[in-house]
Chain A
Amino acid sequence: MPNAEPLLQVSGLRVHFPLQAGLLGRHAGTVKAVDGVAFHIDRGETLGLVGESGCGKSTTGLAMLRMSPLTDGRIHFDGEDITSPDKPALKRLRRRMQMVYQDPFGALNPRMKVLDIIGEPLRVHRLTRGRAAYREKVMALLEKVGLKAEMADRYPHEFSGGQRQRIGIARALAADPELIICDEPVSALDVSIQAQVINLLEDLQKELGLTYLFIAHDLAVVRHLCHRIVVMYLGRVVEVADRETLYDNPQHPYTQALLGAIPIADPDPEVQQHFNPSLSGEVPSPIDPPPGCPFHPRCPHATELCRREAPRALEVEDRHTVACHLHDPDRAQAMAGNL
């Protein structure tokens, strides 16, 4: 590998939001949206960030772009510490890191022409000289994402959901970024349109050598697109593994439950046997998360230790990390005593 250093490295990330109550804004608690998250993204890879609502995956994505305040932790991008960048550094950083949002209806300003929506990063970062070059660049971007160059003078409402998502992707590409953070980019789209956008993202990655952080809750889409996957639960990372390992050999009880709960599009009784909707309960509130392992109230294997102490992330095999006491050899004994 020409450059083995990860493009992005996150350690000990915490994003806590104060919760206020009443007219005087009395402090009423803390939402621990992200509570001790570490991972890295290699150059050219697609890293999946998955989990159910409230697991902190979107907040983590926004933290990468330095769009949500950090409570604690460090973020390195291309070797540079971007935890607390000054204004010029932040602007440089946002040129190299772009975002594609979930809602293709809400993410585009309805009063702006597509030309100026896609061209915004070009203007902000002064990347083209003169009106003609600007227009030409935007038209090239439109064609790159499978739209027609002459659509530049239209407004967002004239486009369908899938086309709007292409416009959002074109805007993200305008400044020639290295990393694109995609937050649920296809979940608002119909299946037949979703596949068009998935293929486009794959093609662009190959053509431009892009790195993606792909945030999603649909595990079939994630399996299709991502090389490596981070599973989050209630603000923490519970498991990290390569795609094949994660889907064939999940080790964390939450990952196992999550994979078992996805209905498979095949009525064959033998296939349906793999469906295992055993997990009960729902994700607890991040305002008052349970002590110890955040998953213990729903975990079929939980012991006294899990209720008391948060597990540490341990490498169970090469490139496979699990945060669960069951997989911690130092703890296995203590657990056996507690069972």
Chain B
Amino acid sequence: MNMKAHDVTRRTLLDVRNLHTVFEKDGNEVHAVNQVSFDVKEGEILAIVGESGSGKSITAMSLLRLIPSPPGRIIGGRVLFNDEDLLDLDDEQIRRLRGRDIAMIFQEPMTSLNPSLRIGRQLAEPLLVHGSVPKDQVRERCLELLRQVRLGDPEKRLDAYPHELSGGMRQRVMIAMGLACLPKLLIADEPTTALDVTVQAQILELLRDLVRANNSSMMLITHDLGVVARYADRINVMYAGRIVERGTAEEIFHHPKHPYTLGLMESMPRLDQAPGSRLTPIPGQPPDLSDPPPGCPFHPRCRFAEARCRSERPPLEQLTEHHWKACWVDTDAKR
């Protein structure tokens, strides 16, 4: 890791304030993303970690206004990108921005590629839409992109259909598409979850190197704490639609403060710990977001919970320069 983002002098590229996204479900409002605030610095890899239903993917999709509506709706907040609020843009403006300034890579390379179009055609699309290169140079640029993502035999691959490629190769194509217009920000939503571990390792190293080489920033959305530890500069931990802790990778892994983060660390079998030691699971399960518990959303599962936690929701408060947590309890004193 050549750069560390705790470098405060870095400019803020994306500033998300009080983002609030709801879904209509059986007549109830589900607060999938609830007053979420965070920023991404230039050149930084920022992770959002959380389990299923924590709101991490909905956060990412809200930024690019990709929430299916209905049933989804962004009901509040600001998404400032280069000092422009993306939530104020009209449909045409946001379309022009997607892929050019902010690109997204999804989890399923199988379903994110059009099965009936050749790879070359799909790869050329962002280049043609945004007019990033003159028409007669599109093919050359596509080949260059495929070489960059180290896809063997690029000439042949341009004419291939997605089903002719393996999962790892398809994800390389997705990365090439994501990087085609040299976006300032790349949002990668579980980019390697569907891949085998040896292929995951190749893809993530490649993704990191290319993002660094382009001087882009990356928002890495994942449930995999191993991936986060290796690639993220800073980490946001999400639970039940809210950010519950934020810090540098060092702070989150070596000095976790929120009981949920602590619980995650203890419930995970780790290769760097003695085998056979007993895991400490987090009891219970995440709350139903259409009927969340009062107070702190984690309190029903929290071993430190006090009376106040059951009635009053803790705000996200700053502990040190980069370290924030949303919890009433001094977990260090209680451990």
Contact residues of A with B, CB < 8 Å?
Answer: 52-53, 160, 162-163, 190-196, 198-199, 202, 217, 219-221, 223-225, 243-244, 247, 257-269, 271-272, 275, 277, 279-280, 282-283
Contact = CB atoms under 8 A, between A and B. Distances in A.
Contact of B272 (A52, A190, A266): A266
Given A191-B264, A198-B279, A275-B201, 6 more contacts: A191-B267, A219-B271, A244-B275, A258-B198, A259-B271, A265-B265
B269 A223 contact: yes
Interface string B150-178: 00000000000000001111000000000
A280 B285 CA distance: 39
Q: Which of B250, B271, B285 has the most CB of A within 10 A?
A: B271
B250 A265 contact: no
B285 A262 contact: no
B6 to A, nearest CB: 12
Interface string B1-21: 100000000000000000000
Contacts of B168: 282
A203 to B, nearest CB: 10
A264 B272 contact: yes
Contacts of B254: 266-268
Nearest to B199: A282
Given A192-B51, A277-B201, A160 B285 contact: yes
Contact of B271 (A193, A262, A279): A262
7 contacts: A191-B225, A264-B272, A272-B229, A277-B201, A282-B166, A282-B168, A282-B196
A220 B269 contact: yes
Contacts of B1: 269
Interface of B: 1, 51-52, 166-169, 196-202, 204-205, 223-230, 232, 249-250, 253-254, 263-272, 275-276, 278-283, 285-286
Contacts of A257: 198
A259 B272 CA distance: 12
Given A52-B197, A191-B267, A267 B229 contact: yes
A257 B281 CA distance: 30
Given A191-B264, A263-B230, A279 B253 contact: no
A283 B167 CA distance: 11
A120 B329 CA distance: 47
Given A53-B196, A191-B264, A195-B267, A265 B225 contact: yes
A282 B253 CA distance: 31
A279 B203 CA distance: 11
Contacts of B250: 267
A280 B279 CA distance: 33
Contacts of A269: 1
A279 B198 contact: yes
A247 B205 contact: no
The 5 A-B residue pairs with the shortest CB-CB distance in the complex, in nearest-first order: A277-B201, A263-B226, A195-B281, A195-B267, A224-B269
B171 to A, nearest CB: 11
Nearest to A194: B267
Contacts of A262: 197, 226, 271
A220 B271 CA distance: 6
B201 A261 contact: yes
A263 B224 contact: yes
Contacts of B266: 195
A269 B283 CA distance: 32
Contact of A199 (B228, B278, B286): B278
A266 B52 contact: no
A192 B278 contact: no
Given A193-B281, A267-B250, A277 B202 contact: yes
B334 to A, nearest CB: 19
A94 to B, nearest CB: 31
Contact of A266 (B51, B198, B229, B283): B229
Q: Which of A190, A192, A259 has the most CB of B within 10 A?
A: A192
B256 to A, nearest CB: 11
B197 A195 contact: no
A6 to B, nearest CB: 22
Contacts of A224: 269, 275-276, 279
A195 B280 contact: yes
A277 B196 contact: no
Contacts of A217: 196-197
A265 B254 CA distance: 10
A191 B200 contact: no
Contacts of B52: 190
A217 B198 CA distance: 11
B198 A195 contact: no
A258 B279 contact: no
Contacts of B281: 192-196, 198-199
B292 to A, nearest CB: 16
Contacts of A219: 197, 271
Contacts of A194: 267, 281
A267 B264 contact: no
A243 B277 CA distance: 13
Nearest to A277: B201
A103 to B, nearest CB: 14
Q: Which of B225, B229, B263 has the most CB of A within 10 A?
A: B229
Contact of A190 (B51, B226, B253): B51
Contacts of B167: 282
Nearest to A202: B278
Contacts of A190: 51-52, 223, 286
A280 B225 contact: no
A279 B226 CA distance: 18
Contacts of A275: 201, 230
B107 to A, nearest CB: 14
Nearest to A193: B285
A283 B196 contact: yes
Given A198-B279, A265-B253, A266-B229, A220 B270 contact: yes
Contacts of A259: 271
Contacts of A195: 266-269, 279-282
